[in-house]
Structures are given as structure tokens and as C-alpha cells.
Amino acid sequence: MARSQPPGTQPPTASAPRSRYSLRDTLLSYAFLAPALILLTLFTFYPLAYGSYLGFTEYGGARFAQGLGPRWTGLENFRTLAADPLFLTALGNSVKYLVIVPVLQLASLSVAVLVNKNLPGMAFFRAAYYIPVVTSISLAAVMWDWVYNKEGTLNWALGVVRIIPEGSFFGWLNNEQTAFWAVMLVTFWRGFGYYMVLYLAGLQGIPAELEEAAVLDGASSWKRFWSITVPLMKPTILLCSLLSTIAALRVLEEVLVLTNGGPLNSTYTALMYVYSKAFQGFNFDYGLASAAGLVVAVVALLLSVANFRLFRESDGGES
């Protein structure tokens, strides 16, 4: 059986299909590729396969200490998860974290539009907005912890403008009503510069004539934003929303460094559950943690598909 070649991709040659590859090139290629392939197999593909398998087993804790391997338990872990109120809270919080996606994307696109103008200082603003992106989450935790402190700048500033009376200051990360949103604001802070840059790249592709024509037609900048910029930026918005959705669902670091899931589990997210079951405390329940990880992966997949659908539909409706 000859190797099938899609018609038209290559001019037909007289040589037999087998001689298309030289043995020397093939051996060299695999030698060059070997380090990357070995590491990817060991640290990316194997964990995916083995981690999925672990989700259906009992592993860790006592078994681990006795040197016993994983024991197949079928769907037992998933039943445990479904009955665990902490996991349901965690999953709920991760889904609730998706609130950030439209807010972050709209803000990033707006900021990109603001700095995408030939005026003095724009390069400076862009660079300054990007600094939080290249800031470690641990430094963000140090700095925002001071801002959110009971005596911190946020309370002080709100006190100055009389939104919060001086006597009723509180720690934003210690309050179960505010901690979730305070953590989310740090994600927002570290993210908007990143998406701004992606949107700026997209904005360069919008022809200036279109914008100018709309100005002459008397369209307000608000209207221009919604009827020119947003529709033309749809591919970029889709990409960014997708990245942002998956990142929001997988949020872990911010929670870990700012609140460790508290207070009263109000910031306890799904990956926090995975991490916590596997590594915090003394259980080391790798089986249950892997099962929880699988659930998050499936939800992420479903949301990515939904994201695509949503955009395709709204695209068909308008244009």
C-alpha cells in the first residue's frame, strides 16, 4: 500500500514513495528531537494518563506509607466528591470566578483602545500597565495584603471619601463577604495588561479609514466602540476569553498566597481542593485529588466549547 498523498499538495515525482525520506535525515531528526520528546512524555503526557488513572483508584495516605500501589475503585472517588460539600463549594467558587472573564476582557479592550492613539506618553502607559503582568504572585500577595489590611490603603482611601466610616474598617481578605472579590481584583490587576497587549495587536489590524468614516458620520466614540471595534475584534476577543475562562476556572495561586481558601472557605476553589487533598494536611489522598482534577478538566473543556458556540452564534446574528 503506497503512502496516500493528498492530491495537489506536491508535484508527482518519478521516485518511489519510500525514497522520500533519507535514513540519515530521519535518524538525525529523532536524535535532535529526543530530549524534548523524552521530557514531554515524562512530565506532560505520562502525568495526564497516570493522573487520569489515579482518579479511579484509591492511592496515597496509608497505602502510600505501606508502599502499596494504587487500587482500582471505579467511580468511588467521584461518588465521594459528589457527596463532599467542600468539593461542591470549591467547584461553585471556581465557576463563580468566571465572573471575571467579561469584566476583565471588556476592561482590557477598553484600555487597549485608550492607549492605541498617537499621543505623547502612550508607550509609557502601556509599559506601566504591563508591570503587574511581570510581577510574581508572591510579591503581589505581599503588596495587596497591605492594601487590603484593616489599617491598609483601601480602607484609608474609602474612609477619606466617606464610603466607609472610620470606625467600621475591616480586613478585606478576612471578611467572607469581600475576600472572594478582593482575590479576584488581584487576578484582574495581574491580567489586564496581558490582554491589553493581545488586543493592541488586534487593533493594529483595523483600517483607520473605517474609524474616520464613522467619525464623519457623527458616530459617538461609544457607538464606534460597539459597532466597529468590538465586531472587528471578535477573533481576538474569542481567543482572550478562552484563555481567561480556563485560567479563571483553574485559579489557584492567588487563593493560595492571599487567603489559603478562607475565610470560611469563601475563596476555596476547585484546584485548591485538588492541591489541598494531595499535599496539605496528612492525608495525601492522591486518588481523590486526581478525581477532582479530572472533574475540573471536564468542566474546562465544556466551557471552552460553550465559549466557541456563544461567539459563533452572536457572530451569525450580527453580520
Partner 1 sequence: MSLVIRAPARTAAPRRRNVKLGRVILRYVFLIAVLIFAVFPFLWTLAIALTDKTAGGSIYNFPASLFPRAVTLHNFADVYRTFSLGKYIWNSVSITGMTIIGTLLISALAAYPLARFRFPGKGIIFAVIIATLVLPGETTFIVNTLTLKNMGLLGTHLGVVLPTVAAAFGIFLMRQAFLSIPQALLEASRLDGAGELTILTRIMLPLSVPSLAALGIFTLVGTWNAYFWPMLALSGAPDAVPLSVAVLKLKGQFNYDPFNIAAGSIIMMIPVLLVFLAAQRLFMRGMEGAVK
Contact between 306 and partner 1 by CB under 8 A: the answer reads no
Does residue 248 belong to the site contacting partner 1 (CB under 8 A)? no
Distance set, CA 35 to CA 22, 28, 43, 45 (Å): 22, 13, 12, 14
Position 103 contacts partner 1 (CB under 8 A): no
Question: Which of 88, 137, 206, 232 lies at the binding interface for partner 1 (CB under 8 A)?
Answer: 137
Decide if residue 119 touches partner 1 (CB under 8 A). yes
> Which of positions 276-295 make contact with partner 1 (CB under 8 A)?
278-279, 286, 289-290, 293-294
Closer by beta carbon to partner 1, 155 or else 178: 155
C-alpha 136: how far from chain center: 16
What is the grid cell recorded at 147? 492594601
- Rule CB under 8 A: is residue 111 a binding residue for partner 1? yes
**Residue that the C-alpha cell 476555596 belongs to:** 268
Closest by Cα among 193, 184, 176 to 97 = 184
Range 19-38, binding partner 1 (CB under 8 A): 20-21, 25-26, 28-30, 32-33, 35-37
Count residues near partner 1 (CB under 8 A): 96
How deeply is 18 buried, as exposed, middle or buried, from its count of CB atoms within 10 A (0-12, 13-18, 19+)? exposed
What angle, 0 to 180 degrees and rounded to 10, lies between the N-to-C axes of helices 179-203 and 100-115?
A: 40
- Locate 100 and state its grid cell: 471575571
In the window 51-90, what residues touch partner 1 (CB under 8 A)?
51-52, 54-55
Closest CA to 191 of 100, 269, 120: 100
Does residue number 115 form part of the binding site for partner 1 (CB under 8 A)?
yes
Instruction: Tell whether residue 218 is a contact of partner 1 (CB under 8 A).
Output: no
Whichever of 23 and 83 has its CB closer to partner 1, that residue is 23
